[in-house]
Structure 1
Amino acid sequence: MFIWIIAIILIIVIGICIYGAHFFVNVAFYKDSTWFAKKGHALFNPDNFNREKTVYTEIEDRQNEEGHRFWEEEATEEIFMKWNNETLCAREFKAMPHSNKWIIAVHGYRSSGKRDMSYPAKVFNEVGFNVLVPDLQSHGKSTGNEIGMGWLEKENVKAWIDKIISHYPEAEITLFGGSMGAATVMMTSGEELPKQVKVLVADCGYTTVYNEFSYLLSSALKLPASPILFFANFFAKSKLGFTLKEASSVDQLKKNTRPILFFHGTADKFVPHEMVYRNMEATTSVKEVMIVENAPHLCSWVYDETRYFKTVLEFIDENLTKGEGHGN
């Protein structure tokens, strides 16, 4: 009888874990999840929902207002590209006079180019960079339903790189990303990229999708991460074509040869800032890191605006000639 009771309990526990893993994959990796829109976003990233009015929220509001106004200027162009049975959208900002320097600015999880990258695009464009801000698949104006946490989206970035080079073969390209966009940049870094891709910038990116969701399940949802993610790995592989551990910034950075600049804020509740040190450790190319004290998730340019953009621009300028790496 005792053995039967234990067996029944184990079956129930395993059943609950399988159900939880299936539910988690559906809400985390698919755009049409109503649960995430209603509850998940606030649970996973409380900084976006529990904001007290401070000097930093005033700075952020000013940056957003300037960025969104810049986004709608007539000099910008909205472009679309057919890719893998989907339509990808991006906003292009040309420098005047024409420059060969390009930045592809990549937004975060369940966000959009306009929401996350309009202000950095304004700053970069005003100092002479052409800037392309894509909406990743299943985000913004791009079509699709699957969200790959950077692993699928790295193929979007590669497609936009090829599109820029097809029109501007002398382009010198920097990949700049925040949050999931940073993970996308890091995951792209281990691919065979054209020689025109010179420099990488990753702001508050995670080490692996497995580690990121392990942190969120335990810290935000107070759930046992390991058994749920054990089964989630199988569901992700069957539904999306990759496992949570396979989607690794760390493994891709080990293959990267291009200079990379890291940022992270110490008050990040969405991606713990300790992950930046693991990403740094995996990188054998030229690398630098800037830690911003007390900055929440993707807010380093809010909490230390002048030093942030000065650091980015100086790093790009110093490393454009060093960033050829491996190419096709």
Structure 2
Amino acid sequence: MFQSFEVTARPEQGPPRLEGLRGEIAKAGLDGFLVPRADAHQGEYVAPHDERLAWLTGFTGSAGFCAVLQDVAGVFVDGRYRTQVKAQVAPAFTPVPWPEVSLGDWLREHLPQGGKVGFDPWLHSVNQIDQTEAALEGSGVQLVPFENLVDRIWPDQPAPPMAPVDVHPLEHAGESHADKRARLGAGLREKGEAAAVITLPDSLCWLLNLRGADIPRNPVAHGFAVLHASGEVDLFMDERKLAGIGDHLDMGVRVHAPDMLLTRLAGMPGPLRLDRDSVPVVIAEAVGDKLSWGQDPCALPKATKNAAEIEGSVQAHLRDGAAVVETLAWLDGQRPGSVTETQVVE
């Protein structure tokens, strides 16, 4: 079954967790802390390890964030979740209509004397922080990179995902990863860039013809990569994930432990391309003055499908279409009003 109706958080769990976080905020000398629904890869879906927003507040929607101050905790949600958030969070949290109310405007209102608001620099993109800082200019409110305070108080936080990686066969990919690397590397050379940092799991998996299972129902593996203008790649991924792929990765791909990423970036020559819409703040800080802003080099090539990928899409749509038709035929046979949405899913 692809959808679960299991209740993973309850409103009454939120207030004591909120008080625990406020204690850590005070000990850190901060006036607030931001809790996004995001991981270091800025994906729409996150692993249980990264479900900090749901753990803290009880809100389980696929988008939103919480800004926790000592006297108010705003849960920012868009129009899809205005009803859901009221049912899932305790009165200790205040739902905020977003993006109608921006984080910058909200912080200005609730910190009129200014203050320091912490954020985990792995969980926020450069663009997100730049936009909020611009909105806060002149307010006296500062955004401060800090270690994740939610992780300090989450005693049974699940471990980071460690699902095995599989090879995406050439017959389905339509192009070897060596050819992809060479093609994209040539594009970097044309722009005078030494390398590009790849932080999006779908880009990484497309580039290296890999598939993973770190996120349920999303065929991606968590990791980072640096694509050099030479076509070589430094892959930052736990080797245990790669144990089952044999010699798929050739000598042009060097594998490193994930915690070596920042150190390696600091020692690499530039310019290094970063995508400000997706790169975590901490990576941009590690690159420093060697950075070159630009789009993820995999984005457009990945979207431009070759013949093998188009055929794969056709076959997938045939299978999916058959399943939809079967479901609709079954639904037509039910008495009107006798079936709930949940029963249709089941």
With normalisation by structure 1, the TM-score equals: 0.29
User: When you count helix as a share of all residues, which structure comes out higher?
Assistant: 1
